[in-house]
Amino acid sequence: MLKSVLVANRGEIACRIFRTARRMGLRTIAVYSEADSDSAHVRMADQAVEIGPAPAAESYLVIDALIAAALATGAEAIHPGYGFLSEQADFAEAVQAAGLVWIGPPASAIRAMGRKDAAKQLMQAAGVPVTPGYQGDDQSPAGLQAQADALGYPVLIKAVAGGGGKGMRRVDRAEDFAPALAACQRESAAAFGDSRVLLEIYVARPRHIEVQVFGDQAGQVVHLFERDCSLQRRHQKVIEEAPAPGMTAETRAALTAAAVQAAQAVGYVGAGTVEFIADASEGLRADRIWFMEMNTRLQVEHPVTEAVTGVDLVEWQFRIASGEALPLAQSEIHLNGHAIEARLYAEDPAAGFLPSIGQLEHFRLPSGLRIDSAVEAGDEVSPHYDPMIAKLIAHASTREGASDQLAEACAGVEVWPVRTNAAFLARCLDHPDFIAGELDTAFIADRFEDLALPLPPSAETLSLAAGAILARDRDHRASPWRDATGFRLNASPETRLRLFLGGEPILATLPDEEIEADVLVTDDAVVIFEAGQAFAFSAVPPQSGFEAAGLGDGQILAPMPGRIVAVGVSEGDRVSPGHVLVTLEAMKMEYALSAPFEGQVESVRVKVGDQVSEGTTLVQLKAAD
């Protein structure tokens, strides 16, 4: 068995791997960038090594720095986690060339599955059903347009080296293909250093179903059943569950057999996930599920598989890398109940899931379920890395029990002032269609307003806010960010107080009885949490705000630090609401900033390639005459 491991990653996945490593008696080594010097994964490890500046390209993606850190600390093995270099064959080879143990599949398997076009061709040869499409060498815009026209619309453009929804676009009309292709190629080149794409038919009611597989060095491969990852936003998974709702024994047998066959075709070793796209228009049928891609690493959503099988997948990774055989035979792996995972992101769903960065001045997560996280109150959500701040995982004997538990947990999340998707997650889990198992990858987009737009505070919350503000004003000893609990007011229930919420006036009825509640109190606001949302009330209207400055006067501001990758207008251009002005790349994704009203471009302040900070004026508009 291994004695020590360096985790070439950060955040919650590094902490997750360290937990199992410690239980197994392994010495743990962390690496960190300058931005992560006081991060949880650094504090948790037995030893930590700084490897470079904040940008991932100068730290977590530098192979030489990672291997040097492992050699300097006497690490016996490197675990890549997920993301970053976890699916880079060159990294696997460099680790082994340095005399270290690589905790992952062979470089040959990574290469075979790393390019989506080559992987599909390999799967076809192995007899695994694949989605109809184009995976050819002609990457010219004209050639790809012709192939898309031949396939018929809608069509899906996908980066051949992609993952996590990057470099992927759905195109519904021929005239939209060229700009979508350019965006995919640009995004893919930035994320993976490879601009090549493939095309696939777009399945009408697609469900994203994947199978966890595991292989050992003796050639044995088993599956640990399937997960449903259909709830996605911007092609990135949000809620995952195991097993898949509506899965029949016949379809499961065909699906898992195909996954094992795919893994065997590339001599797979370790943990991997074979992803399939299912046409759910007539339920989950074995003849309507096709191979999509294989992720040659541990997945973000692996905890739901662990919950329903009782297997610690990271422990299996360590054992297989040590040369041991698979701990269980296929006949010994069983399903137990149902598990659902929700990814808690620092983002604003109502603003198109735009990431929210800043310090977590108040951070409180619910208890009673598994939580994988690497942040605490006082930590900062950085613009340099993925904005996921925690994973919440519920396990119960039934799907209904798991979803009820997780919905309640998401509704109980308290984070301020960074915005999160907690309320959005709770509403997804409570939606009648989710409860009924009516899922597909358009679930969120088709119900966006019901799920993502903020709800007004309840009468009880308004009453609590009014009472808390009065209590604060009476207690001049109040300090910022303290809990005000158990205050009593003697006003009649008809007494009303004028409050401001989001700059808008609102009347609240004062309570006439003692209220026990946790309330965040500052000198100028009272923050109350309800159903996953944070409401900041004040007694006076705000003087000004970033949002107002970014809209009313025509200034289009950068919502976060990033790099300009496209400029769609010039000075003097006429624009309509929704016209894309500038595209900003930040936190590994592209964000299109659009015109908020009809008008004219007065000036363009940036060019392609510029690095901008939050609040930078990108474009100045003036309203139409």
* Catalytic machinery residues: 297
Cross-strand bridge partners of residue 390: 344, 373
Which distant-in-sequence residues (6+ apart) come within 8 Å of 480 by Cβ?
521, 522, 523
Number of H helices, E strands in the chain: 18, 37
Q: Strands 370-373 and 354-355, how do they pair? A: unpaired
Please give the Cα distance from 179 to 184 (Å, whole number): 9
On whether the CB atoms of residues 369 and 403 are closer than 8 A, the answer is no
User: Which residue is listed with tokens 């228009």?
Assistant: 281
Please give the Cα distance from 472 to 484 (Å, whole number): 8
Please give the Cα distance from 77 to 92 (Å, whole number): 11
For the chain, give the longest Cα–Cα distance: 78
Distance of CA 159 to the CA centre of its chain: 18
Please give the Cα distance from 239 to 433 (Å, whole number): 14
Virtual CA dihedral for 2, 392, 294, 247, nearest 10 degrees?
A: 120
Please give the Cα distance from 448 to 370 (Å, whole number): 28
Written as six digits, the tokens of 175 are 């005239």
> How many Cβ atoms sit within 10 Å of the Cβ of residue 498?
12
**Where do runs of H (alpha helix) occur along 224-301?**
249-265
Provide the strand spans (E) within 262-337.
270-279, 289-295
Residue 602: C-alpha distances to residues 552, 577, 578, 608 (Å): 15, 16, 17, 18
Q: Strands 168-171 and 155-159, how do they pair? A: antiparallel
On whether the CB atoms of residues 44 and 404 are closer than 8 A, the answer is no
Please give the Cα distance from 104 to 94 (Å, whole number): 13
Written as six digits, the tokens of 135 are 């995976």
Rounded to 5°, the CA angle 155-156-162 comes to 165
Order of strands across the sheet that contains 236-242: 289-295, 270-279, 206-215, 221-233, 236-242, 338-345, 388-396, 370-373
Give the number of residues written for the chain.
Answer: 625
Task: Name the amino acid, one letter, at 418.
Answer: V
Please give the Cα distance from 548 to 536 (Å, whole number): 17
Cross-strand bridge partners of residue 47: 29
Please give the Cα distance from 464 to 517 (Å, whole number): 8
- Residue of 142, 188, 183, 136 whose CA lies nearest to 162: 188
